[in-house]
């Protein structure tokens, strides 16, 4: 039996055991109410469907170069009969799982930079806690409407944003010099070491207040916003920006996730198959990435996200229930 097949069977067993334990421990009636509300499908089919769906979502996320959380929350909340609070809690865990898996390797290779990440993470993680508390306190329709508007904004950013491999930062600003946010990394494609520094640090830190708050409120993760700010605004090289963004997610999402766990908004019935499917899908996606056409996949993701965001907006406004 191959290693990949053994991992698949192990993940499937974890999903099955967790769902079975949850239904026994907490009562089938509560599970049915959460998973079957507004649906004629038997309750235990929803975790299976969710596992298969997130498996393909994981493949798509890797090939398109976007975080799993930003795809998971709007699509699942729009097209699955789950309460938005549970979807957001699971979305944070989905984003967090991928970040924790990739973070150590990126730090070891010198691509994720601690001096760049920690000031941003301190602000973003603090604000994500407040965002999670606000999101759980607001009525569901208000959060759903705001989520739809946010997703449409993300679609616009993804469709129009440009990236710079090596931004030209002529001089570091005072704050980044005091914090010593600078570094050197080896660029394999160029075969040389790249010296980098950043500027506009106060503005960047201010934006991470908003990014952290939105990450906690909507359970999206924040990779969609981290990379443009680090790369285009602060002037960090693209590879440093992407790798540091992943490391940032592991801190920001952890802070917000504890709020959802404490409020009982992380449901194993939804979280376990989502995380398992996403992890397996991302592994397959890495293998497909070399042969895929990222540009075509990107526009497919943009289209799907726009439809999900538009559906969430109408759902929140009560136009499309």
The answer, yes or no, to whether residue 220 has pLDDT greater than 60, is yes
When pLDDT is averaged across residues 128-156 and rounded to a whole number, the result is 88
pTM of the model: 0.77
Q: Please state the φ and ψ torsions of residue 126, each to the nearest 5 degrees.
A: -60, -45
Closest Cα to residue 181, out of 223, 102, 121? Answer: 121
Q: Which of 58-62, 120-124, 167-171 has the lowest mean pLDDT?
A: 58-62
The 10s digit of each residue's pLDDT in 244-268 is 888 888 888 888 889 999 988 888 8
pLDDT tens track for 1-55:
556 545 555 555 554 455 444 444 444 444 455 544 555 677 778 889 999 988 8
- Predicted pLDDT of residue 25: 45
Mean pLDDT rounded to a whole number for the chain: 79
pLDDT in the model for residue 22: 47
Q: How confident is the model at residue 243 (pLDDT cuts 50, 70, 90)?
A: confident
Query: What pLDDT band is residue 140 in, cutting at 50, 70 and 90?
Result: confident
d(CA 321, CA 314): 8
pLDDT at position 28 is 46
CB burial of 183-215 (b: ≥16 within 10 Å; e: otherwise) equals bebeeeeeeeeeebbbbbbeebbebbeebbbbb
* Higher local confidence (pLDDT), 36 or 203: 203
- Please tell me the predicted confidence (pLDDT) of residue 30: 47
pLDDT at 125: 92
Mean pLDDT of 46-65: 82
Residues 6+ apart with CB under 8 A from 68: 54, 57, 58, 61, 94, 95, 97, 98, 221, 278, 282
pLDDT in tens, 290-321: 566 656 667 777 887 888 888 888 888 877 65
Give the C-alpha separation, 305 to 319, whole Å. Answer: 19
pLDDT of residue 297: 66
Find all residues with CB under 8 Å of 48, minimum gap 6, and list them: 273
User: Could you tell me the residue ranges of all domains in the chain?
Assistant: 3-316
Please state the rounded mean pLDDT for residues 92-109: 78
Region 282-296: mean pLDDT is 67
288 neighbors 65 (Cβ within 8 angstroms): no
Confidence of residue 207 (pLDDT cuts 50, 70, 90): very high
């Amino acid at each position: 039996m191959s290693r990949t097949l053994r991992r698949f069977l192990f993940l499937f067993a974890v999903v099955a055991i967790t769902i079975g334990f949850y239904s026994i421990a907490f009562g089938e009636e509560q599970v049915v109410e959460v998973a079957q509300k507004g649906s004629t499908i038997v309750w235990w089919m929803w975790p299976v469907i969710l596992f298969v769906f997130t498996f393909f979502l994981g493949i798509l996320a890797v090939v398109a170069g976007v975080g799993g959380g930003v795809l998971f929350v709007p699509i699942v909340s729009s097209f699955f009969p789950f309460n938005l609070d549970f979807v957001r809690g699971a979305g944070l865990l989905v984003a967090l799982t991928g970040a924790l898996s990739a973070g150590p390797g990126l730090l070891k290779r010198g691509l994720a930079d601690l001096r760049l990440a920690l000031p941003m993470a301190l602000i973003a993680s603090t604000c994500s806690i407040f965002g999670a508390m606000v999101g759980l306190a607001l009525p569901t329709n208000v959060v759903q409407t705001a989520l739809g508007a946010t997703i449409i904004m993300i679609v616009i950013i993804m469709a129009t944003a440009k990236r710079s491999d090596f931004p030209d930062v002529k001089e570091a600003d005072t704050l980044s010099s005091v914090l010593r946010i600078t570094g050197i990394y080896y660029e394999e494609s160029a075969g040389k070491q790249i010296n980098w520094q950043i500027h506009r640090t106060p503005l960047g830190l201010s934006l991470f207040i908003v990014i952290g708050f939105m990450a906690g409120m909507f359970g999206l993760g924040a990779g969609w916003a981290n990379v443009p700010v680090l790369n285009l605004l602060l002037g960090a090289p693209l590879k440093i920006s992407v790798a540091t963004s992943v490391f940032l997610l592991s801190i920001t999402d952890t802070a917000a996730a504890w709020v959802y766990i404490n409020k009982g908004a992380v449901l194993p019935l939804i979280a376990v198959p989502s995380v398992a499917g996403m992890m397996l899908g991302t592994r397959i996606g890495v293998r497909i990435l070399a042969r895929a056409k990222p540009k075509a996949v990107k526009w497919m993701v943009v289209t799907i996200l726009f439809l999900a965001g538009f559906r969430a907006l109408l759902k929140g406004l009560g136009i499309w229930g």
